[in-house]
Amino acid sequence: MSNRFFRERILESIDNPTLQTALDNNTERRLKGRAAAFESIPDWRERRQRAHRIRADVIEHLDDYLAKFIANNEANGVIVHRATDAKEAIHIVLGIVGADEHPHQQKLVAKSKSMVSEEIELNHALEKHNIRVVETDLGEYIVQLRHERPSHIITPAAHLKKEQVAKLFQEKLGIPYTEDIPTLTATARKVLREVFLKADVGLSGVNFGVAETGGMCIVTNEGNARMVTTLPKTHIALMGMERLVPKLDDLALMLSLLPRSATGQKLTVYTQLLHKPMLGQTRHLIILDNGRSKLRNSPLKESLYCIRCGACLNACPVFRELSGHAYIGRDLSIAPYPGPIGSVISPGLFGKNYVQLAQASSLCGACKEACPVDIDLPKLLTRVRAGKVDEERGKKKDGAGLTWSTRLFLKAFARLATQPKLFALSQKFASLGTHLLSPRAQWMRLPAITGWGYSKDFPRFAGKTFRERYRKSEIANREIPLQNMIAEQPANIPTFQPANLIDQFTTELTALQGNVHQTDNVTQSMIEYLTSKNIKKIYLQPNVLDETLLRQSGIDFTHEPDPEIIVGVTKAWVGLADTGSVLEANEELRGSLLPEIHLAVLESKSILPSLPDAIEMTKGKNAVFITGPSRTADIEMTLTIGVHGPKELHVFVDDSNSG
């Protein structure tokens, strides 16, 4: 039996109570969070279909969109590389990291989350070349310390409980044992801050590429992707070739679906758009094929529409029992992508080693229902099972991953099902047989090896089948039609109430533990705030506050971002009312990132209703939409504020020009 090891792994997961508790927590919180987040966009069904069409169009015309995307990136000053497979991609990364004047010094690469890097096993390859790689997403950092693969594409440490993390940090980081999640998080912040500041190279994934502008959109809650893309002198962005949208407008639509589906957020805390290198920085973009072109020309093409939100994992009853580490191939390697989408693309990208995964599904359809771009995952799973993975290699084998006994039974059954007389006869035999086996009881116990007998009893075949009864019975036609009782409910479409934008902005940001101060004298309010906190020195973006007044009040400031300063004051370009976000788009993005406390000035007239109203402003810029203070839920899904980015966010809404 080819899936023996897979089944053993499944049992291990099921029999691991710690894992099961962690998985139940993940499922419950994610499903609730997602449902609540979608309530705020009543037109989500329509958005989902639009998103499906956009992704379908991109995959259909991928070559054109890629050409446009690459040309725009080159015009933006980004160095673009294309890699056909993992080996090539690794070679390119090694070339970039290794190329400088100190070849003997160990290089340090700070990495934010990238599933593509997991797919090509980049860390392993870099370490082999004496390059130190540090994962900076808290969950990824934890699994890296444990020498594990992520068990979930969004929450890599979803399989662990806080006691395990506490023990890990005690052993590896030398801190006293503590299960206090904020303390654990703060420890990681401290250790990784050093890494950000010292790293030679920052390496990130890409959530979306925007063809019309060349923009790379990267979303993180912790702020680590902002660090790795802006602090080191070299940034490498690693991206799957299918991750494109045509326009910024399309991106705004995708961004209304991705965080809601992934983490139940209206917008991820940091939604970055990178359009060019930072001052003094070299930015590389590596676009990876690694089987995607093949997948695109296969019946599994629709799986390329995926935007990697992980919603199908959270909705899947199989994932809920297994967690990512149990999805193994015949060679016992862990599949790079778990869950329903993984059971399609792992075999789709890497061949029949992983086809057996697709048999582990009841085709219940929860994944399709959860998918923000409406990928018909059950259909794709049946295509993997039908051997469509190997079709083009002329080795098509139907019933892929099926055990021989099931195959034999179903094939024999199919022969019977096309010969009605034989079918009826075998029903008689089955009835006789089961009545002999269980003369008294209607339900009987079968051995576990039958599969059915593992957890449930089996019914006897009926003494008289329906077809026999129908032939013999004379069912009276009592013509007493009942009345039509149905009352059609009027469609109940909630209408969106355009509220006061400032109020809406305040409500949303406050809910995210951000602070809003409304004022008609920003400098004065800022001074009052700083004095109350006894803060003497700040980073200040030029031309934002009345600098003379600041000096007179005894507050020192610098225009040069400095990791030692704990308060940074910047000016927000605009605010977004429906998500409580502020847009920062200037040359100096570090001022809103490095300090522990970020104070943003926002003119009240610059509050716009929603992301689509502002997204065009990011064209050609390096920009970030900031939605609340930095946060994580990577340990036991417990929300913790303040990871790599600021722990506090205060927005001073300036009313003085509101007229």
- Looking only at residues 553 through 572 of this chain, which bind another protein when binding is defined by CB under 8 A? none
Separation CA 589–CA 8 (nearest Å): 50
- Applying CB under 8 A, what is the total number of residues that bind another protein? 81
Q: Which is nearer to another protein, 403 or 524 (CB)?
A: 403
The answer to the question of residue 392 lying near another protein (CB under 8 A) is: no
The one segment of 344-352, 477-485, 586-594, 638-646 that binds another protein by CB under 8 A:
477-485
Find the shortest distance in angstroms from Cβ 344 to another protein.
13
Q: Which amino acid is at 268?
A: T
Find the shortest distance in angstroms from Cβ 411 to another protein.
6
The answer to the question of residue 387 lying near another protein (CB under 8 A) is: yes
Separation CA 338–CA 330 (nearest Å): 15
Q: Which is nearer to another protein, 5 or 461 (CB)?
A: 461
Q: Which is nearer to another protein, 178 or 403 (CB)?
A: 403
Cα–Cα distances (Å) from 105 to 131, 292, 326, 557, in that order, read: 9, 36, 38, 36
**Residue 130 burial (CB count, 10 A):** 11
The answer to the question of residue 534 lying near another protein (CB under 8 A) is: no
Q: Which is nearer to another protein, 266 or 383 (CB)?
A: 383
- Looking only at residues 121 through 140 of this chain, which bind another protein when binding is defined by CB under 8 A? none
Six-digit token pair at 617? 């402003």
Separation CA 234–CA 97 (nearest Å): 8
Find the shortest distance in angstroms from Cβ 363 to another protein.
6
The one segment of 212-220, 224-232, 476-484, 630-638 that binds another protein by CB under 8 A:
476-484
The answer to the question of residue 420 lying near another protein (CB under 8 A) is: yes
210 contacts 247 by C-beta, under 8 angstroms: yes
Residue 242 is given by DSSP the state T
The answer to the question of residue 379 lying near another protein (CB under 8 A) is: yes
Q: Which is nearer to another protein, 398 or 560 (CB)?
A: 398
The answer to the question of residue 414 lying near another protein (CB under 8 A) is: yes
- Looking only at residues 281 through 340 of this chain, which bind another protein when binding is defined by CB under 8 A? 317-318, 321-322
The answer to the question of residue 401 lying near another protein (CB under 8 A) is: yes
Six-digit token pair at 296? 């695109």
- Looking only at residues 423 through 442 of this chain, which bind another protein when binding is defined by CB under 8 A? 423, 427, 430-431
The answer to the question of residue 462 lying near another protein (CB under 8 A) is: yes
Find the shortest distance in angstroms from Cβ 657 to another protein.
51
**Residue 297 burial (CB count, 10 A):** 10
The answer to the question of residue 475 lying near another protein (CB under 8 A) is: yes
- Looking only at residues 223 through 282 of this chain, which bind another protein when binding is defined by CB under 8 A? none
Find the shortest distance in angstroms from Cβ 261 to another protein.
17
Among 138, 313, 402, 527, binds another protein (CB under 8 A): 402
Listing DSSP states for 478-545 in one string gives ---PPP----PPPP--PPP----HHHHHHHHHHHTT-EEEEES-HHHHHHHHHHHTT--EEEE-TTSS
Find the shortest distance in angstroms from Cβ 459 to another protein.
5
The answer to the question of residue 407 lying near another protein (CB under 8 A) is: yes
569 DSSP β-pair partners: 540, 599
- Looking only at residues 188 through 217 of this chain, which bind another protein when binding is defined by CB under 8 A? none
503 contacts 653 by C-beta, under 8 angstroms: no
Find the shortest distance in angstroms from Cβ 385 to another protein.
3
Among 106, 477, 497, 548, binds another protein (CB under 8 A): 477
SS (H, E, C) 46-70: HHHHHHHHHHHHHHHCHHHHHHHHH
The answer to the question of residue 32 lying near another protein (CB under 8 A) is: no
Find the shortest distance in angstroms from Cβ 462 to another protein.
5
Among 35, 71, 332, 410, binds another protein (CB under 8 A): 410
Find the shortest distance in angstroms from Cβ 40 to another protein.
22
389 contacts 349 by C-beta, under 8 angstroms: no
Separation CA 253–CA 140 (nearest Å): 28
The answer to the question of residue 492 lying near another protein (CB under 8 A) is: no
Return the C-alpha torsion angle 448, 450, 451, 457, nearest 10: -70
Find the shortest distance in angstroms from Cβ 217 to another protein.
31
Separation CA 143–CA 579 (nearest Å): 31
Q: Which is nearer to another protein, 35 or 75 (CB)?
A: 35
Among 177, 404, 454, 496, binds another protein (CB under 8 A): 454
14 contacts 321 by C-beta, under 8 angstroms: yes
The one segment of 36-44, 457-465, 511-519, 529-537 that binds another protein by CB under 8 A:
457-465
Find the shortest distance in angstroms from Cβ 473 to another protein.
7
Among 210, 400, 614, 653, binds another protein (CB under 8 A): 400
Separation CA 153–CA 83 (nearest Å): 22
Q: Which is nearer to another protein, 27 or 640 (CB)?
A: 27
Six-digit token pair at 334? 């862990």
Listing DSSP states for 539-604 in one string gives EE-TTSS-HHHHHHTT-EEESS--TT-SEEEEE-SEEETTTTEEEE-SS--GGGTSSSEEEEEEEG
Residue 524's Cβ-count burial label (10 Å; 0-12, 13-18, 19+) is middle
Of 374, 86, 97, 91, nearest to 240 by C-alpha is 86
Q: Which is nearer to another protein, 147 or 478 (CB)?
A: 478
Six-digit token pair at 380? 């794709």
Six-digit token pair at 645? 């980015």
Find the shortest distance in angstroms from Cβ 285 to another protein.
37
Residue 373 is given by DSSP the state T
Separation CA 610–CA 495 (nearest Å): 16
Q: Which is nearer to another protein, 74 or 369 (CB)?
A: 369
Find the shortest distance in angstroms from Cβ 433 to another protein.
12
The answer to the question of residue 532 lying near another protein (CB under 8 A) is: no
Q: Are strands 574-576 and 567-571 parallel, antiparallel or unpaired?
A: unpaired
Find the shortest distance in angstroms from Cβ 188 to another protein.
34
Q: Which amino acid is at 541?
A: Q
The answer to the question of residue 495 lying near another protein (CB under 8 A) is: no
- Looking only at residues 331 through 370 of this chain, which bind another protein when binding is defined by CB under 8 A? 358-366, 368-369
The answer to the question of residue 404 lying near another protein (CB under 8 A) is: no
Find the shortest distance in angstroms from Cβ 653 to another protein.
43
Find the shortest distance in angstroms from Cβ 364 to another protein.
4
Among 85, 398, 556, 560, binds another protein (CB under 8 A): 398
262 contacts 346 by C-beta, under 8 angstroms: no
Q: Which is nearer to another protein, 7 or 149 (CB)?
A: 7
